[in-house]
Amino acid sequence: MRTRARRRGGDWTLDGAKHWITSGALADVAVVWAASEEGVNAFLVEKGTSGFESRVIKNKLSLRASSTAELSLVDVRVPDGARLPEATGIKAALKCLDDARFGISWGACGAARACIDTVLRYTQSRELFGRPLSHTQLIQARLADDVRKLTAAQLIAWRLAKLKEQGAAGSAQVSLAKWNNVRAALDIARDCRDMLGAAGITLDHVPMRHMLNLETVITYEGTESIHELIVGRALTGQPAF
């Protein structure tokens, strides 16, 4: 963590930068994590504070509807009251990840289902060589395989939800769900885009939009490699990070 916090009398001075911050240019208050001599701390920084700037990241090919920003902090002075007193240490900064990853495991299922529904409607109305595409063996086999992947992902998300209700869901289980479900959704979106043929690259159908967005979802809140190592640690008892 390169963003630094230094005490200055009764206040704090923050210096650093944060990248890929969702809604960072829209928010009135930013939660900024910074390393100090006392460890990792969280601070509330209000929009308009001297030295604090946010810039929208442009030219994205994915998640275009989401405002993403870069935050810059140069000699930003905040009072000690802006520090979150119970948010200390890197574990505090990362503990929200399990909830975020849990939500993603469900959202990926929704994206995959939308892609399958689109292809079902399209192949039932699109005729080729005198019959609807949905009447062909290849399309039926591919749709069946996509539904198999989606059903498995939905069951994983459902089981994880039950474990969370019981307070028994571990980080490795959450990582497994995020990893599996986003990968399944991305594979489904790619396959559905292909089954739409040339129409699949137009704005008339959703699979390519979901495909592009899932290329980002598979990266944020932990890449596949990170989740592999989290699950591997749970299996072997040895961290390999």
Identify the structural domains of the chain with CATH numbers, from first to last. 4-92 (2.40.110.10), 96-236 (1.20.140.10)
CB 193 within 8 A of CB 207: yes
Residue 90's pLDDT is what? 79
Partnered with residue 35 across adjacent β-strands are: 4, 40
CB 108 within 8 A of CB 152: no
As a whole number of angstroms, the distance between CA 37 and CA 162 comes to 41
Across the beta sheet with 68-79, the strand order is 52-56, 68-79, 11-22, 4-8, 29-36, 39-46, 83-88
Q: Give the rounded distance of the alpha carbon of 136 from its chain centre.
A: 36
Identify the H or E element spanning 99.
Answer: helix 97-125
Dihedral class, residue 77 (left if φ above 0, else alpha if ψ from -120 to 50, else beta) = beta
Angle between helix axes 171-195 and 207-217 (nearest 10 degrees) is 150
Angle between helix axes 97-125 and 171-195 (nearest 10 degrees) is 20
Closest to 173 (Cα-Cα) out of 186, 192, 158:
158
Residue 92's pLDDT is what? 78
Reduced to 3 DSSP states, what percent helix, strand and coil does the chain have, rounded to the nearest 5? 50, 25, 25
pLDDT tens, the chain, 241 aa long: 789 999 999 999 999 999 999 999 999 999 999 999 989 999 999 999 999 999 999 999 999 999 999 999 999 999 999 999 888 887 877 778 999 999 999 999 999 999 999 999 999 999 989 999 999 999 999 999 999 999 999 999 999 999 999 999 999 999 999 999 999 999 999 999 999 999 999 999 999 999 999 999 999 999 999 999 999 999 999 999 8
Amino acid identity, residue 10? G
As a whole number of angstroms, the distance between CA 225 and CA 219 comes to 9
Residue 94's pLDDT is what? 79
As a whole number of angstroms, the distance between CA 226 and CA 49 comes to 35
pTM: predicted TM-score of the whole model, two decimal places:
0.89
As a whole number of angstroms, the distance between CA 50 and CA 176 comes to 42
Supply 138's token pair: 């290849």
As a whole number of angstroms, the distance between CA 42 and CA 20 comes to 18
Active-site residues, by number, are: 221
As a whole number of angstroms, the distance between CA 124 and CA 133 comes to 6
